[in-house]
Structure 1
């Protein structure tokens, strides 16, 4: 029988009545939740710093080598699995959108951090030694606040988390010279946000360019300059990713997925998927379920 890919919330992973934050050392967390080794999805933000690690982990169907000093960030809805070799330890923080947002005036504040953009190239970071030492010390303080809370412990945890995010984000920011580069970065961020909201119903770069009040050629040039791919590829890649995520749910038929992504018919969706992934949606799903069952 085909098994559904599980979706976990914080409550389902916590021993205490807590639905917005879960903090732990990684080894005992992994020992308690061995089910997380296989393919699953999160309803929360997920941050891990490895102090000891070997093997691999997978985020949205892309494999990464796990190594000491590596930090990775995941957003709600992403698909995840671990395949470790040897002893693995570190720190883990699972938190809801509301946990930090209740502390901040600026809506969408987490969108300022490149590693929460959904772009996997920014989400997995091997920290330089000095940054690793600083970030590790912050995680230790967070663990202490969480396990033996004093007055305003939750606010202290929030402050420490923001310190980690800001310090890591500084590593990811490329130095820019002149206002035009800064403008293009902002433009790209706006384009990504539009894709995130409209990938299922708007497929053409010219329509996004119109929403951004620029020409399609300008949008394409910005994408190629910063991302190395065209605007059309960025849109298609996001549609493909959502198709893969939907395929983890066997309750959805291929035809239902096609309709949800606004393809004119099932055969067009299959052609689109096979062109980009070099396999059909059915074959992709069979392999995913097979890997999950191993």
Structure 2
């Protein structure tokens, strides 16, 4: 289904006491919040902790079956939808970055490696891990429902535990492995890229913002992502273009304007060079 405008949803849609955080059961989730069933773009992070369910979650056109215990992670800006049975068991958590940063310093979320890598959006849980997640999420849901004194501090602590455990699932590392300055620069680059990719499409802008040379930024990107900084910028722009072509009814000219290309023909050339097909052919093949 195509939309003239893809809905942007914030955590405030859940009408909770705190519009930066929400947690709830998967049971009858679509009856309570039907907008989740339609493709939408979220301003918040999502953790979908599945115990037992039937259905599908779709993230940027990639379908994930909800058939066994797993944790699905959705990053802000992705286009997401979920089709799930009424009797599903599990927990859904939504949180804005500001909720986490109120206790932890800014950009703390990007210290979790799974949030920075081009990796799968989910991990399967074995029996022991599934039980552990069920218990932790259960405690968290109870805390959210009780709304006792200090509830937000407790919820942030639980959330930090869940993210730490999820990071281990996505990327097991030895205890003495430490993050270095290069990784921090790469995280900062990705933050800047998400914010400025429409207006700034060359590596020099980001290198200047990071107070490093373009050559050094390329070296970091090649070391940790296997491609140049320019390729990462082009990839980010291409992903956004694919989202708009797949989920919206905007014309190619409108999408080119939204992404701040100098002309429609330049956008078409850019898209074909980076995907192998024209925007119109991409749209036709994903209908």
TM-score tier by shorter-chain length is: 0.7 to 0.9
Shift, 1:206, TM fit: 5.2
Query: Matched residue of 1:121: which SS?
Result: coil
Matched, 1:138 2:133: no
* Distance change in 2, residues 1:161/1:175 (3 Å): same
Report what 1:106 is aligned to.
Answer: 105
Residue 61 (structure 2) aligns with: 61
What stretches of structure 1 of length at least 5 have no aligned partner?
Answer: none
Write out aligned runs for 1:11-90 (5 A): 11-14=12-15, 19-84=19-84, 88-90=88-90
Secondary structure of the 1:91 match is: strand
User: 2:154, 2:177 → 1: CA distance?
Assistant: 37
Cα displacement (A) at 1:213: 5.5
Aligned residue-pair number: 284
Describe the superposition over 1:196-233 as per-residue Cα deviations: whole angstroms up to 9, x where unpaired. 23322333345545555655555444333322333332
Q: 1:196 to 1:2 in 2, by over 3 A?
A: closer
Give the direction of change, closer, same or farther, for the CA distance of 1:219–1:54 in structure 2 (3 Å limit): farther
Structure 1 residues 163-184: Cα deviation after superposition (integer angstroms, max 9, x where no partner): 11122223425449888x8343
SS at match of 2:27: helix
Q: TM-score, normalised by structure 1?
A: 0.78
Structure 2 residues not aligned, in runs of 5+: none
Among 193, 196, 199, the alignment partner of 1:195 is 193
**2:29–2:86 contact (8 Å) kept in structure 1:** no
Instruction: Give the alignment's TM-score, normalised by structure 2.
Output: 0.80
Q: 1:109 to 1:233 in 2, by over 3 A?
A: same
Q: Distance in 2 between matches of 1:185 and 1:35?
A: 37
Equivalence for 2:202? 204
The alignment yields a C-alpha RMSD, in angstroms, of 3.4
Identify if the C-alpha distance between structure 1 residues 209 and 178 changes in structure 2 by more than 3 Å, giving closer, same or farther: farther
The answer to whether the 8 A contact 2:23-2:144 is kept is yes
Query: Structure 1 residues 230 and 67, CA, compared in 2 at 3 Å: closer, same or farther?
Result: farther
